[in-house]
A = this chain, B = another copy of it.
Amino acid sequence: MNFKLSEIVGHMKPSEIRELLKYATSNDIVSFGGGMPDPSTFPKKEIREIIDDVIEKNSDQALQYGNTAGLDTLRAELKKFVSRKEGIETDDDKIIVTAGSQQALYAIGRIFTDPGDPIITESPTYVGAVSAFNANAADMIQIRMDENGIVTDEVERRITDLEGKGRKPKFIYVIPNFQNPTGVTLSLDRRKHLLEISENHEIPIVEDNPYGELRYSGSKIPSIKSLDRNGNVIYMGSFSKIMSPGLRLGYIVSSEEVTNTVNLLKQALDLSTNTLSQFIAYEYLKRNIIDRQVPKSIEIYRNKRDVMLASLEKYFSDVGTWTKPEGGMFVWATVKGDINTSKMLMSAVRKGVIYVSGPAFTADNSHTRSMRLNFTFPENEKLIEGIKRLSEVVKAEEAKISNQAENKI
């Protein structure tokens, strides 16, 4: 039979990245496309030990349904963790555990926006946020970034503008540290300005911080939530980049009102988060494995970042520019010529290299000359080879364009 689907389906668009993941496992292809951690950073020995202990001592709980808000013990550890790492002082009942921070994004989108409601995001922004906000038919107003992150003066201008039209944005969504996809970090001044805007206009800030622990150079900048005195900031964290993404664990730190409302929605979404995963994360924090594990990841990723930046310097300087992230997983590269990276993608796949093109990170298909390059997953030699191939693809594309131009003359 022909199914008649809801209108909301029309707002969802397939993610180029999820499609690309299919290629990512092929051996002869260098994939800069995913946002996957290097599996060598997975604490597999420790996870195995934890699971053995948990199944031995707590299987009745660990294999059973759990509370919708999350394991009490895990929430208590998270409270200590965000205090110690991010200077965020909160209470257990202001924390809710989610199925990755992707579920947090969807839930925040769902409980704040009705179809057509405006929200503010960076341009470009995380593709999963685009999915989550599109799935709620929110109207994403994307504000440009520079080397210090989202341009807050422009945020303020746009908000004033929208308010004048009776369309106050429901929240401001930012990834302040090593942003996905640009790798750019929001400066302290801008963080303070954003908080000021939030207070003046009474618009909450959604601070997404999946990569904060992964800093390879430069100095830590305080989280916006730690500067927040009025409960304006909804903070999101994730275990995907500091433990394992396959265990699907994230969390929200906010007010009790937000926690309770997300809880209510989560009863509809999935009843509760994977209990075994929560036991693993609890022990991971409690036994302080995290403080031994993350420095190892930082070593590996710093080196990979340096290899990618050196390769870009060597092979890409004449065809494009790129950001120089102090942490995280991504470099954002922009070609000099009038090349559309979406259209170039199939040529790149044929040459054996994959990236995610700029428009995937937007609601308006802008950033057509840019692409996101992940440096955490590929091995070092692949990083070099991939950038070399990418440079060749761009040059071939430039030649094609200049040929077409000549043919027209």
- For the complex, give the distance between the alpha carbons of A60 and B103 in Å: 23
Whether, in the assembled complex, A15 has its beta carbon less than 8 Å from a beta carbon of chain B, the answer is: yes
Our pick among B4, B51, B257 for the contact of A48 (Cβ within 8 Å) is: B51
| A31-69 near B? 1/0 per residue, CB < 8 Å | 000111101001010011001100110011111111110
CB distance from A389 to the nearest CB of B (A): 24
Residues of B within 8 A of A132 (CB): 268
CB distance from A29 to the nearest CB of B (A): 17
A257 touches B3 (CB 8 A): yes
Our pick among B61, B204, B276 for the contact of A1 (Cβ within 8 Å) is: B204
Whether, in the assembled complex, A405 has its beta carbon less than 8 Å from a beta carbon of chain B, the answer is: no
A5 touches B245 (CB 8 A): no
Whether, in the assembled complex, A370 has its beta carbon less than 8 Å from a beta carbon of chain B, the answer is: no
Residues of B within 8 A of A121 (CB): none
Least CB separation from A63: chain B residue? B244
Given A21-B67, A64-B37, A114-B7, check contact A274 B247 (CB 8 Å). yes
Counting every copy of the chain, the complex holds 2
Our pick among B2, B21, B65, B267 for the contact of A245 (Cβ within 8 Å) is: B65
Residues of B within 8 A of A272 (CB): 248
A34 touches B65 (CB 8 A): yes
- Specify which of A48, A114, A232, A264 lies most central, judged by the most chain B CB atoms within 10 Å of its CB: A264
A110 touches B51 (CB 8 A): no
Residues of B within 8 A of A61 (CB): 246
B65 touches A39 (CB 8 A): no
Given A7-B114, A103-B270, check contact A245 B63 (CB 8 Å). yes
CB distance from A169 to the nearest CB of B (A): 11
Whether, in the assembled complex, A255 has its beta carbon less than 8 Å from a beta carbon of chain B, the answer is: yes
A246-274 residues with Cβ-Cβ distance < 8 A to B are 246-248, 255, 257-258, 261, 264-265, 267-274
B68 touches A113 (CB 8 A): no
Whether, in the assembled complex, A117 has its beta carbon less than 8 Å from a beta carbon of chain B, the answer is: yes
Whether, in the assembled complex, A396 has its beta carbon less than 8 Å from a beta carbon of chain B, the answer is: no
Whether, in the assembled complex, A294 has its beta carbon less than 8 Å from a beta carbon of chain B, the answer is: no
CB distance from A92 to the nearest CB of B (A): 14
Residues of B within 8 A of A199 (CB): 1
Residues of B within 8 A of A36 (CB): 64-65
Whether, in the assembled complex, A230 has its beta carbon less than 8 Å from a beta carbon of chain B, the answer is: yes
- For the complex, give the distance between the alpha carbons of A2 and B255 in Å: 10
Whether, in the assembled complex, A12 has its beta carbon less than 8 Å from a beta carbon of chain B, the answer is: yes
Whether, in the assembled complex, A128 has its beta carbon less than 8 Å from a beta carbon of chain B, the answer is: yes
CB distance from A102 to the nearest CB of B (A): 5
Whether, in the assembled complex, A99 has its beta carbon less than 8 Å from a beta carbon of chain B, the answer is: yes
Given A232-B1, A246-B62, check contact A100 B271 (CB 8 Å). yes
CB distance from A275 to the nearest CB of B (A): 3
- For the complex, give the distance between the alpha carbons of A5 and B258 in Å: 9
Could you list 25 A-B pairs, sorted by A, with CB under 8 Å?
A3-B257, A3-B258, A6-B112, A6-B170, A8-B111, A8-B114, A12-B264, A12-B268, A13-B264, A14-B267, A21-B65, A51-B51, A64-B245, A65-B240, A66-B246, A99-B248, A102-B270, A106-B268, A106-B270, A128-B267, A128-B268, A131-B268, A246-B276, A247-B275, A248-B274
Which A positions have Cβ atoms within 8 angstroms of B?
1-9, 12-15, 18, 21-22, 34-37, 39, 42, 44, 47-48, 51-52, 55-56, 59-68, 99-100, 102-103, 105-106, 110-114, 117, 128, 131-132, 134-135, 170, 199, 202, 204, 230-232, 240, 244-248, 255, 257-258, 261, 264-265, 267-277
Beyond the given A65-B246, A99-B269, please list 19 additional residue pairs across the A-B interface where CB-CB is below 8 A.
Answer: A1-B232, A3-B258, A5-B112, A6-B110, A6-B117, A9-B261, A14-B267, A21-B65, A39-B63, A42-B63, A48-B51, A48-B56, A51-B51, A99-B274, A134-B268, A135-B265, A135-B268, A246-B274, A246-B275
